[in-house]
Amino acid sequence: MSNQPQTKNQTESEFFNLAGTGRKGIEDMFHKMGDEIKAVSTPNISKDFDTWKIRALVEIANDDNLKGIIGTRAGIFSIYQGIAKAATMGLQIGGQFPHAYFVPMGGKAVLIPSQDGYSFMATYGPGRVLKIAPELHEVHEKDEFRIDDAARTYVHNFKPFGDRGKLVGFFTVLEYVDGRKMIPYVTMSQVEEIEQGYGNLSSPAYKKSKLDMDKKTAMKKLLKPVAKEAEGLAMMMALDDWQYAPPVEPIGPDMRDVTERVGDRLDSAAEGMQPQEQGNVHEGVQAGAASDGRQSTPRSGSSRQEEPPKPIQPEPKKEPGDLF
């Protein structure tokens, strides 16, 4: 028989037979259930599990926002559940660039992915599909920014210490392991539209740093095509689903794939924009475009039925600087 520890889901009663509350409760959890958590963790976590758990312990125990949470049974149990999820997906908690962090919500702690976490999962997580970790770039109104559809390249020039004006959008470069390349971007108005319609703007994360949450919303939108193919990234979007919960509960259970559900929510938010602004949406430049130079736009993964196509109205010619 294998010596590998057998893993199972802990009920709350079973959990509190092993662990208490407060900082000691977290220490008890790692001491008594560390083998179980390690057994379900990814290789990057299990190979240095002791360092990983100490980093997580220090981060959680010293977070003032979680002081009241770890002092209750329900709160400390939610920490355990979040730790198990983080280990399963290979996410680092704490450190200089954490992949995820805990925030209080309804008397419990919720594990929230960070911008770096999304980038990590797309490039190094289960089912990775990107060759290089995508970097999120800010575009300001005085920047020079344009995308060359034919060459699959971009130009982004600005004065590092000059007045760049207000933030107007974000973009990234997606380089797939199979050679495809995309340069998607999202306008600041789209980001705010998503957050106003679906974001939990009263959460501690928004209050702590709105810009950080704007960046995370932008990165999540830009990585939407990748989520269809990257298992870990799709899991993270499901984990972060609470933040984009729809205002009205559906009549019946939604049995679609999580990436389709998340995609629909983001698309619905973007569809609320004015027609002219919606016409500027640029999903990305894909290397597998048609030989005549036409741009190939990736599908969002949505299973909704499309409306009959409307006649295309001629638009005035736009210069490269009109992307935002």
Mind listing the pLDDT tens digit for each residue in 118-139? 888 889 887 789 999 999 999 9
Residue, of 160 and 209, whose pLDDT is higher: 160
Q: How far apart are CA 87 and CA 56, in angstroms?
A: 11
Q: Are residues 122 and 105 in the same domain?
A: no
pLDDT score, position 27: 86
Q: Is position 302 within any domain?
A: no
261 in a structural domain: yes
- The domain tally of the chain equals 2
44 pLDDT above the threshold of 50: yes
Of the ranges 226-230, 241-245, 259-263, 294-298, which one carries the lowest mean pLDDT score? 294-298
Position 165 in a domain: yes
**Is 2 among the domain residues?**
no
Statement to judge: residues 91 and 184 lie in one domain: no
Instruction: With beta carbons less than 8 A apart as the criterion, state whether 208 and 226 touch.
Output: no
Higher pLDDT: 89 or 240? It is 89
Residue 319 domain-assigned (yes or no):
no
Whether residue 19 contacts residue 80, with contact meaning beta carbons closer than 8 Å, is answered with yes
Residue 321 counted as domain residue: no
pLDDT at 58 exceeding the cut of 60: yes
> Mean pLDDT score of the chain, rounded to an integer?
74
> Same structural domain for residues 244 and 102?
no
Q: What's residue 150's pLDDT?
A: 78
Shared domain for 137 and 273, answered yes or no, is: yes
Specify whether 21 is located in the same domain as 131: no
Letter for the amino acid at 240? D
pLDDT at 206: 67
Q: What is the pLDDT of residue 130?
A: 93
Closest to 178 measured CA to CA, from 118, 131, 225, 233 = 131
Are 78 and 153 in a shared domain? Answer: no
Q: Check whether residue 123 and residue 263 sit in a common domain.
A: yes
pTM over 0.85: no
Characterise 165 by phi-psi region: left (phi > 0), alpha (psi -120 to 50), beta (else): left
**CA 185 to CA 170: how far, in whole Å?**
6
- pLDDT > 60? residue 257: no
Q: Are residues 129 and 245 in the same domain?
A: yes
Kindly state whether residue 96 falls inside one of the protein's structural domains.
yes
Residues 16 and 101 in one domain: yes
pLDDT score for 171: 96
Domain termination site, one of 113, 136, 169: 113
**In this predicted structure, what is the pLDDT of residue 222?**
92
Instruction: Provide the domain limits for residue 170.
Output: 118-289
Strand partners, 146: 155
Same domain, 202 and 235: yes
Amino acid at 84: A
Domain membership flag for residue 193: yes
Task: Name which of 212, 187, 210 is nearest 270 in CA terms.
Answer: 187
